[in-house]
Structure formats: structure tokens, C-alpha cells
């Protein structure tokens, strides 16, 4: 299916969805018995649609897919409050009409009750949209991965970068990987470093064991960039910069045996 056809299908599906929602909204709106203004009800409906698509096109791709969970939650909460507040403002005098019919209930209580249900309803719509967007993004990633996998050899590895794209990195160009601040930094030999939220376990599983070694819980290095090692540290060189990483002591025997089997000449005692 071409991109143009996908866009057309996307627009049609969303138009049908909001047509059904709009019909149900207008047919069951508590505004209708008191103020049958189509303009007011359409504006109130827009207060649902706009937050829905702000979350769909902005918050999910830019925050949730980058695993900024706290910021995403705060922005979503504020978006829901904004939608509910705008809808209260649109309804305006209709709340007064409700209050005039229920005179024995405090006006503030009526206001907060209506506001709560408006926010709850908006939250349900936004959650549905977020789930749909996540499924869409994951489907796109899988399609990209499957399409590219048929065109490459085993010398590359798939990496999900924060901009929601799946890229291919040549294994020969990877110098070492470090995990810090909840993300993995991939330092390459000839290209700029990249960042990903994939785990080190993913790379340990997919990188060939005869070309890479896990030095400790936070570092995986290519054998080709190791300049020297001893019982406690491994020294690597990439981009004319030298770094030393400590060997994981709980597994130091296995790590040293792998290093000595690879290049015994690079062993430098303390």
C-alpha cells in the first residue's frame, strides 16, 4: 500500500470516527434540552478533538516514544485540564441554566462535578488515541525493519533512536557502547555517536560474541578498539580518545580468559 493511499485511509477512518462521536455527542448532550445551539455543541466537541490530536501528533511521538514518561504524564494532565476548562467556558450560561433547575445544590458543587466528568471523558478519548498512535508507530517500525532486513546482510544491527526511527548501524563501525542516564550511547569509529533507549542486553544478544565483549554491566566494547587490559581495567581507543573501563569483578575470570584468548599480547600487568 502506497503512502498516499495510507494517508487517504487514515483521513477517512478518522473522519468516520469523529462523525460517529459527533452524532452521539450532539444526540446525548445535556446542553440540547436547554440550549439547542449547534454552534455551541460543535465548539464543545472541538474541545475534545483538539486535545486528542495534540496528544496524538505531538505528545506521543515526541515524549512517550522517547520514554519521557514524567513529562508526558504532566503534559497530558494539563492538556486534559485545558480541554475541560475550555469546554466549561464554551458552555458558559448553560451551566447557569442547570443551576437554575437544581437550586438546592451549591453552584460550586455543580461546576466541579461537570468539570470532573468533562475531564474524565476527555482523558478516555486521549488514552484511546495514544494507544492507537503507539500501535501505529510500532507497526511502522516493524515494517521498516522487515523491509530493510531483506536488503542487508548480517553485518548490521537495528537500533531504535529517540526520534522514533529504526536505523541500521554497521557492526564494524561500532567502537563501544555505554549505559548511563537510562540510555545507551553508541560510540562509532568513523561517525558521530548515537543514543538509544534499547538495553545493553539487546546489543549483547545481537552483536557477535567473537567481535564484542561485555566488560561490565554498563559497557560493551569491540575487540578491535581494545588497546590494552589487565586484571582490573580495559583501555579502549576511539576517535583518538582513550578511555578505561573497570572489569566486572564478579565475572572477571571469564572476561580475562576471553581477552587473553583474543589478544594475549595486549595484556599489561599492573
d(CA 214, CA 32): 66
Shared domain check, 219 and 177: yes
Q: Angle at Cα 214 formed by Cα 213 and Cα 220, nearest 5°?
A: 90
| Mean pLDDT for the stretch of residues 219-247 | 91
Q: CA end-to-end span of the chain, whole Å?
A: 62
Shared domain check, 239 and 171: yes
pTM over 0.85: no
Shared domain check, 129 and 213: no
Shared domain check, 12 and 142: yes
Give me the pLDDT at residue 103, please. 55
Shared domain check, 173 and 46: no
Q: When comparing pLDDT for 101 and 261, which is higher?
A: 261
Residue labelled with grid coordinates 434540552: 33
Give me the pLDDT at residue 238, please. 87
Shared domain check, 122 and 41: yes
Quick one: what percent of the chain has pLDDT higher than 90? 20
Q: When comparing pLDDT for 59 and 101, which is higher?
A: 59
d(CA 10, CA 142): 19
Shared domain check, 174 and 131: no
Classify the C-alpha dihedral 110-116-119-120 as positive or negative: negative
> For residue 238, what is the domain's CATH number?
2.40.50.1020
Give me the pLDDT at residue 31, please. 45
Shared domain check, 168 and 74: no
Shared domain check, 87 and 8: yes
* Listed range (99-103, 128-132, 152-156, 266-270) with the worst mean pLDDT: 99-103
d(CA 239, CA 212): 18
Last residue of a domain, one of 118, 147, 176: 147
d(CA 6, CA 137): 14
Give me the pLDDT at residue 36, please. 52
Paired sense of beta strands 212-216 and 183-188, if any: unpaired
Domain membership of residue 215 as a residue range: 156-266
Q: In the structure, what pLDDT confidence band is assigned to residue 101 with cuts at 50, 70 and 90?
A: low
Tally the domains of the chain: 2
Q: Angle at Cα 128 formed by Cα 125 and Cα 134, nearest 5°?
A: 140
Shared domain check, 135 and 190: no
Give me the pLDDT at residue 89, please. 81
Q: What average pLDDT does the structure give for the chain?
A: 80
* Listed range (46-50, 89-93, 158-162, 262-266) with the worst mean pLDDT: 89-93
Shared domain check, 202 and 140: no
33 pLDDT above the threshold of 50: no
Burial class (CB in 10 A: 0-12, 13-18, 19+), 135: exposed
d(CA 258, CA 236): 16
Shared domain check, 121 and 234: no
DSSP per-residue string spanning 31-77? TTTT---HHHHHHHHHHHHHHHHHIIIIIIIIIITTT-HHHHHHHHH
d(CA 76, CA 64): 10
Last residue of a domain, one of 147, 172, 203: 147
Amino acid at each position: 500500500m502506497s503512502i498516499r493511499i495510507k494517508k487517504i485511509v487514515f483521513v477517512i477512518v478518522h473522519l468516520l470516527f469523529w462523525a460517529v462521536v459527533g452524532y452521539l455527542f450532539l444526540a446525548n448532550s445535556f446542553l440540547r434540552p436547554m440550549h439547542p445551539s449547534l454552534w455551541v455543541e460543535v465548539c464543545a466537541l472541538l474541545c475534545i478533538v483538539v486535545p486528542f490530536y495534540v496528544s496524538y501528533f505531538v505528545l506521543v511521538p515526541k515524549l512517550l516514544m522517547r520514554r519521557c514518561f514524567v513529562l508526558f504524564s504532566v503534559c497530558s494532565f494539563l492538556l486534559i485540564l485545558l480541554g475541560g476548562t475550555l469546554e466549561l467556558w464554551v458552555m458558559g450560561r448553560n451551566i447557569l441554566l442547570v443551576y437554575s433547575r437544581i437550586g438546592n445544590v451549591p453552584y460550586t458543587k455543580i461546576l466541579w462535578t461537570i468539570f470532573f466528568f468533562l475531564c474524565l471523558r476527555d482523558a478516555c478519548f486521549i488514552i484511546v488515541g495514544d494507544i492507537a498512535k503507539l500501535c501505529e508507530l510500532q507497526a511502522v517500525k516493524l515494517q521498516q525493519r522487515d523491509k530493510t532486513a531483506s536488503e542487508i546482510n548480517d553485518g548490521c544491527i537495528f537500533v531504535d533512536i529517540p526520534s522514533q526511527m529504526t536505523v541500521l548501524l554497521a557492526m564494524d563501525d561500532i567502537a563501544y557502547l555505554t549505559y548511563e542516564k537510562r540510555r545507551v550511547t553508541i560510540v562509532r569509529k568513523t561517525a558521530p555517536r548515537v543514543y538509544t533507549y534499547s538495553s545493553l542486553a539487546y546489543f549483547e544478544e545481537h552483536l557477535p560474541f567473537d567481535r564484542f565483549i561485555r566488560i561490565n554491566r554498563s559497557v560493551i566494547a569491540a575487540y578491535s578498539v581494545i588497546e590494552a587490559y589487565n586484571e582490573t581495567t580495559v583501555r579502549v581507543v576511539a576517535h583518538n580518545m582513550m578511555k578505561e573501563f573497570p572489569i566486572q569483578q564478579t565475572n572477571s575470570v571469564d572476561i580475562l580468559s576471553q581477552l587473553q584468548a583474543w589478544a594475549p599480547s595486549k595484556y599489561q600487568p599492573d
